[in-house]
C-alpha cells in the first residue's frame, strides 16, 4: 500500500472543523485539486454509504494537464473524530480530528494500492503522483485553516 499523511492545527473546535470537512460541497473552497463536489444518488449529507462526485483539475503552473470527475463513497463518518471516503473504489481519503483545547489537529491521509505496469511507472516515477498528492494535502490543509480561522 502507498500511504501518506500530513497534519495541521486549526483554531476552531472539532465540531466546527468536522462540519466543514464533511460538507463535501465546500471542498472546492480549499482543495488544491478538487474544484467542486456534490452529493449524488439521493445523498444530502455525510453518512456511511453516501455518495458524491468531485470535479478535479491537475495543473502545472498555468497549464491544465487534466480534468476529471470521481465518484466517492463515505466509508466512515464519526462526528468530531473521522471522515473517510473511497474515491473510485481505489484511493481512500481520511480526515481525523483531535481536540487540543479550543483547537483541532486535523490529519489528512490517503492510501491506495501501488499502480502497476507502465501506468505505475508513469504515475510514480515520471509524474511523481504520490509526492504531488502530499503537496496537495498540505496546500489543502493550509487553505482550510485560513478559510475556517477567518470565519
Report phi then psi at 40, rounded to 5: -135, 175
Domains of the chain plus CATH, in order, are 2-150 (3.30.530.20)
pTM assigned to the model: 0.90
pLDDT tens track for 15-28: 999 999 999 999 99
pLDDT band at 62; cut points 50, 70, 90:
confident
> Above pLDDT 70, what percent of the chain?
92
| pLDDT exceeds 60 at position 126 | no
Q: Report which DSSP code applies to 13.
A: -
As a whole number of angstroms, the distance between CA 109 and CA 84 comes to 9
As a whole number of angstroms, the distance between CA 129 and CA 123 comes to 5
Residue 134: what pLDDT? 86
Residue 128: what pLDDT? 65
| Beta-sheet strands, E only, within the chain | 2-10, 34-40, 51-60, 63-78, 82-87, 91-100, 103-112
| pLDDT exceeds 80 at position 89 | yes
| pLDDT exceeds 80 at position 63 | yes
pLDDT tens track for 39-52: 999 999 999 999 99
Report phi then psi at 99, rounded to 5: -70, 135
| pLDDT exceeds 70 at position 37 | yes
Amino acid at each position: 500500500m502507498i500511504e501518506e499523511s500530513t497534519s495541521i492545527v486549526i483554531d476552531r473546535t472539532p465540531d466546527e472543523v468536522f462540519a466543514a470537512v464533511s460538507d463535501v460541497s465546500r471542498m472546492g473552497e480549499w482543495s488544491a485539486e478538487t474544484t467542486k463536489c456534490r452529493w449524488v444518488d439521493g445523498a444530502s449529507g455525510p453518512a456511511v454509504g453516501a455518495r458524491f462526485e468531485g470535479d478535479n483539475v491537475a495543473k502545472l503552473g498555468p497549464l491544465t494537464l487534466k480534468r476529471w470527475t470521481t465518484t466517492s463513497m463515505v466509508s466512515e463518518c464519526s462526528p468530531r473524530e473521522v471522515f473517510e471516503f473511497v474515491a473510485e473504489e481505489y484511493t481512500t481519503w481520511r480526515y481525523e480530528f483531535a481536540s487540543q483545547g479550543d483547537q483541532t489537529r486535523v490529519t489528512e491521509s490517503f492510501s491506495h494500492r501501488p499502480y502497476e505496469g507502465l501506468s505505475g511507472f508513469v504515475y510514480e516515477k515520471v509524474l511523481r503522483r504520490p509526492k504531488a498528492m502530499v503537496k496537495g494535502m498540505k496546500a489543502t490543509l493550509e487553505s482550510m485553516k485560513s478559510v475556517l480561522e477567518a470565519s
